[in-house]
Chains A and B, each alone.
Chain A
Amino acid sequence: MKSLTLELNGAKITCDVEPRETLADFLRERCRLTATHLGCEHGACGACTVAVDGQATRSCLRLAIMCDGRSVQTLEGLEDDSTMEVLRRHFHQSHGVQCGFCTPGMLMMARDILLRMHDPDVETVRSQLSGQICRCTGYSGIVTAIVAAGRELGRAGQAKGVRESGIQVTAIAAVPAKVDD
């Protein structure tokens, strides 16, 4: 076991992990943060997308121990995030959810797209979203929702590129790290 210290959704946590543990397994099994879904476990589906130091990351392709000293954000930590608030509303209005399995990854990636790009069009969103798989094939509603959210944020001048300075960290109730195993 190796000691891992990171900032998780704004709270600093330290716990022991196995080197072979992926960030996804760490989040789900040790931290009980189950919004991060695991589909393929080899980087093909995008369901496990989180943000590491503000960068969209496939948590199945990152060992937890590689995130030592870094900041990790999951969907749970973005409840009060202004971009995510707009995205959630448009996912609801445009029926961007079917079974919901891909939704956390879709939302994390959608937020990443809107932080990097101002008011992206349908073609851009489709291309940027090509690494996220929805097995219900509900892409139409998802793309519509992201485009509409981008338009709304663009109008409000909110979708600023805040990646360089690090993303806004929203504190949630600290999750006690599981220390058994």
Chain B
Amino acid sequence: MKAAIFDYVVPKTVSEASALLGSTGAATVAIAGGQSLVPMLNLRVALPDLLVDIGRLQELKEVAATPSTIRIGALTTHAAIEDGKLPEAFGGLMQQVACKISYRAVRNHGTIGGSVALADPASDWTGCLMALGAQVRISGLKGTRSQPISEFVLGQYSTSLAADEIIVGFDLPRPNAALRWGFFKVVRKSGAFADSIAFAVAQGRGGPASVVLAAAADRPRLLPKVAERIQVGGGSEDALRSAIAEDVAEHVSRDDAYLIRLHTSTVLRAVREVQAQ
């Protein structure tokens, strides 16, 4: 199908973008890489009056590393992350996640900010950034704000972004010790959206750990009991499985034996990967 008619504008600054997006009386949508939005336009699932192309805003391309933080611009593409263009602080986790997103031709244009702003429940970045404790940097007409990604994503395709706001980038705290990580996802076809994704990270041994399950609920969910098992270390397979069962049951119906088994399996594999390091 072909997209319906809309107008198109390229703002020169972030504040100009916000003014355009916040203008009343028209359905406005921001476009960055367009790898999710253009198919939605083509299928006429999205019917905006005005497309605001934020893909050329330099402010959204900033990548920086300080002793405590890695700052990633919203317009950073999956391909740039796959190719190792970011400062490495997470033991290669982000590269591994990036190279398994869709296909190279999509990764060349799709952006990390666009992925998070769309808030697909099976988005790779939302779950990954949640596991890494990222803060979302947001700019709008009232100025800028910062919010933990776990609070930023409200549900299926729903975020705390106001109409005039855009994601500027992400601040990721550097781990205090070498990051041990596990990442596993189940896809029916390589490059397709996943049926289940699990991220497990631990800062050294005994340091803070975090486990996230995505594509299971309306948004990626933290699994605190499983994270605790990693942090404590040791423990039996049964103890780990029972922690997974408790956490997964919070988000997946116990009646669906297949889904329980699927999500249990991805979490288990991600955790085992961490434990093996």
Where the two chains meet, the residues of A that have a C-beta atom closer than 8 Å to any C-beta of B are 2, 18-20, 22, 25, 41-43, 46, 49, 52, 55-58, 60-63, 65-66, 68, 109, 112, 127-128, 130-131
> A20 is contacted by which of B2, B34, B104 (Cβ under 8 Å)?
B2
> Could you mark each residue 70-113 of chain B with 1 if its beta carbon is under 8 Å from any beta carbon of chain A, else 0?
00000000010000000000000000000000111110110000
> B108 is contacted by which of A19, A42, A56 (Cβ under 8 Å)?
A56
Tell me the smallest distance from the CB of A178 to a CB of chain B, in Å: 17
Report how far A2 CA is from B5 CA in the complex, Å. 13
Closest to A132 in B: B103
Give the most central of B42, B79, B103: most A CB within 10 Å.
B103
Tell me the smallest distance from the CB of A79 to a CB of chain B, in Å: 21
Tell me the smallest distance from the CB of A125 to a CB of chain B, in Å: 12
- Contact between chains at A20 and B5 (CB < 8 Å): yes
Tell me the smallest distance from the CB of B244 to a CB of chain A, in Å: 29
Decide yes or no: A43 and B35 within 8 Å by CB, A56-B108, A63-B8, A109-B105 being known contacts. Answer: yes
Q: Does B142 contact A (CB under 8 A)?
A: no
Decide yes or no: A61 and B106 within 8 Å by CB, A25-B2, A42-B39, A43-B39 being known contacts. Answer: yes
Report how far A52 CA is from B38 CA in the complex, Å. 16
- Contact between chains at B109 and A57 (CB < 8 Å): yes
Decide yes or no: A20 and B39 within 8 Å by CB, A58-B106, A63-B34, A131-B105 being known contacts. Answer: no
**Interface of chain A, main secondary structure:** mixed
Report how far A41 CA is from B3 CA in the complex, Å. 10
Residues from chain B with a CB closer than 8 A to the CB of A55 are 79, 105, 108-109
Report how far A55 CA is from B6 CA in the complex, Å. 27
Tell me the smallest distance from the CB of A146 to a CB of chain B, in Å: 14
- Contact between chains at A112 and B53 (CB < 8 Å): no
Report how far A66 CA is from B75 CA in the complex, Å. 14
- Contact between chains at B105 and A58 (CB < 8 Å): yes
- Contact between chains at B38 and A63 (CB < 8 Å): yes
Decide yes or no: A66 and B2 within 8 Å by CB, A49-B105, A130-B103 being known contacts. Answer: no
Decide yes or no: A2 and B103 within 8 Å by CB, A41-B42, A43-B35 being known contacts. Answer: no
> A61 is contacted by which of B7, B10, B35, B104 (Cβ under 8 Å)?
B35
| Between-chain CB contacts (< 8 Å), 12 pairs | A20-B3, A41-B1, A41-B2, A41-B39, A41-B42, A55-B109, A56-B105, A57-B108, A61-B35, A109-B105, A112-B105, A131-B103
> B4 is contacted by which of A2, A20, A58, A131 (Cβ under 8 Å)?
A20
- Contact between chains at B109 and A61 (CB < 8 Å): yes
